[in-house]
Homo-oligomer: A and B are copies of this chain.
Amino acid sequence: MNTLAKNTLVKCGECPIRHRAVCARCESDELERLESIKYYRNFEAGQTIVWSNDKMDFVGSVVAGVAALTQTMEDGRTQMVGLLLPSDFVGRPGREGSAYDVTATTDLVMCCFRKKPFEKMMAETPHIAHRLLEMTLDELDAAREWMLVLGRKTAREKIASLLAIIARRDPRPGLSPGVEASFELPLTREAMADYLGLTLETVSRQMSALKRDGVIILEGKRHVSVPDISRLMDEAGDDSDGGYLV
């Protein structure tokens, strides 16, 4: 985040998410056109980006940081329905409001496009529409995978699944010997609970249990090291990648 100071103008060509975001397939002339309708916005951890049902006058990409999509019932029960990491897309072209609350769970930088011009451009440049279709299909797959987690896994498996996903998307190699992955949790215990359909007490207990059983190593509350990734995958219940067949 610190590398992208507030209101810094970044050339699309130098953008860190250039090859993964909705603009991934654009040619340089298309990028120029995008540059003319884009602007950056910064959000602090905890800040709401859009409220559910509010009118959105932009769409955009997460450049740095993590955001969450959540749904809330009248009595306050809430469920996170999406976790947006850098390069993920926010907003739905062709619809006025947001269907969910969008909240920054860490400090965040968004690359925003004014909505009308973006929609016009999408209609005219298949590269953008195709990439957005591809990304939406990927998100649909991720949502469905998550339905299995929510519907059928135990609390312990749910926690392990979440940790495995974060470890996979943040593939910093282990620092010390005997540590295969190591990362900072971008979520509070409560946010984890909202993602997993659990209470925060249950999250805390299962984190402690995984630590006690040596599946993870906790340094402070948020830093997680994983000595053996395939062990973690086993705990998650999807041992399809248990190590065989490379």
Interface residues of A (CB under 8 A from B): 69, 71, 73-75, 77-79, 81-82, 92, 94, 99-100, 123, 126, 129-130, 132-134, 136-137, 139-141, 143-148, 150-152, 196-197, 237-239
Within 8 Å by CB of A74, from B75, B79, B147, B239, lies B239
Known: A134-B94, A136-B133, A237-B73. A147 touches B143 (CB 8 A): yes
Most buried by B among A94, A126, A150, A151: A151
A144 to B238, Cβ gap below 8 A?
Answer: no
Can you list 29 A-B pairs, Cβ within 8 angstroms, ordered by A? A69-B144, A71-B147, A71-B148, A73-B148, A73-B152, A73-B237, A73-B238, A74-B237, A75-B237, A77-B152, A79-B151, A81-B144, A81-B147, A81-B148, A82-B144, A92-B137, A99-B141, A99-B144, A100-B144, A126-B126, A129-B133, A133-B136, A139-B140, A143-B144, A143-B147, A147-B147, A150-B150, A150-B151, A151-B197
A82-B144, A129-B129 are known contacts. Are A152 and B197 too (CB-CB below 8 A)?
yes
Chain B's nearest CB lies how many Å from the CB of A179? 27
Bound: A196/B238 CA distance, A: 20
A4 to chain B, nearest CB (A): 28
